[in-house]
Homo-oligomer: A and B are copies of this chain.
């Protein structure tokens, strides 16, 4: 009987100015799956650990099984697969929780098939899972979770996902306050049009961030980590947002913003020590707004999801 265990990392989508086009992966935390080949055809979610019973076990609704089904259908296989999912990422946190489950399952099933598909070829199957999880088949979480590093989603028609060759050595602080936000709600507050000058500012900062990342210019990265489109309307969902961000920068972060659609906030720093101090400062500030939070500090992940020992 063939069985495999895989890990897929949490991801930060948007990255301030990179709204809807950019994401990066962290080393940890992440979700794990164990896939086991079974005799009867069909994909089954056998158990989920760590979700507090909130995720669906139905194979057509769970992101891990939907991704595996999409993969099997693409390669015309009717093999049976049993999935055990270990959720380490909180749901609705903005840390790419649904993406991580789908990506771990895909990297696992692909391994069972001798890595038949490339990482890039797995992306559309992971996007199918995202469509189930949050209503839109976006790639800015699954892209970096699969490929590692910073990933640009330049276009969807056709899909154009580019791994950015990053020279900067960066550390990420994730601070997850104990509130929950639905991606749909965070999308609903976005206005359908933006001022031309804001679109230009956002483009300029996106370009600056790319140049900074690729040339290792942390000062330019810092100047570019601004979001004039989504953050002004979405930050109202996060009590203390401005104060927490301000404390992150005071503690030495290059920049700070909303991770995905929130409520997790992320900060990027130039060293592990600074990233730790930034986490403490942000957590302390959230407490002033009566919000407990979990802090994760990690290097930027370079390789994406991986097979791990059983």
User: A238 in the interface, Cβ–Cβ < 8 Å?
Assistant: no
User: A17 in the interface, Cβ–Cβ < 8 Å?
Assistant: yes
User: A52 in the interface, Cβ–Cβ < 8 Å?
Assistant: no
In the complex, chain B residues whose CB is within 8 Å of the CB of A194? 193-194, 196, 199
In the complex, chain B residues whose CB is within 8 Å of the CB of A201? 155
- Residue-wise, chain A 4-31 has the 8 Å CB interface mask toward B (1 for contact) of 0000000000000111111000000000
13 A-B contacts (beta carbon < 8 Å): A153-B204, A154-B204, A154-B207, A154-B220, A160-B223, A162-B208, A164-B211, A192-B196, A193-B194, A199-B202, A203-B206, A207-B209, A214-B215
Instruction: Give min CB distance, A155 to chain B, whole Å.
Output: 6
In the complex, chain B residues whose CB is within 8 Å of the CB of A160? 208, 223
Q: How many residues of A contact B (CB 8 A)?
A: 41
User: A61 in the interface, Cβ–Cβ < 8 Å?
Assistant: no
In the complex, chain B residues whose CB is within 8 Å of the CB of A190? 196
A190's closest neighbor in chain B, by CB? B196
User: A224 in the interface, Cβ–Cβ < 8 Å?
Assistant: yes
In the complex, chain B residues whose CB is within 8 Å of the CB of A198? 199
Cross-interface CB contact of A207 among B193, B196, B210, cutoff 8 Å: B210
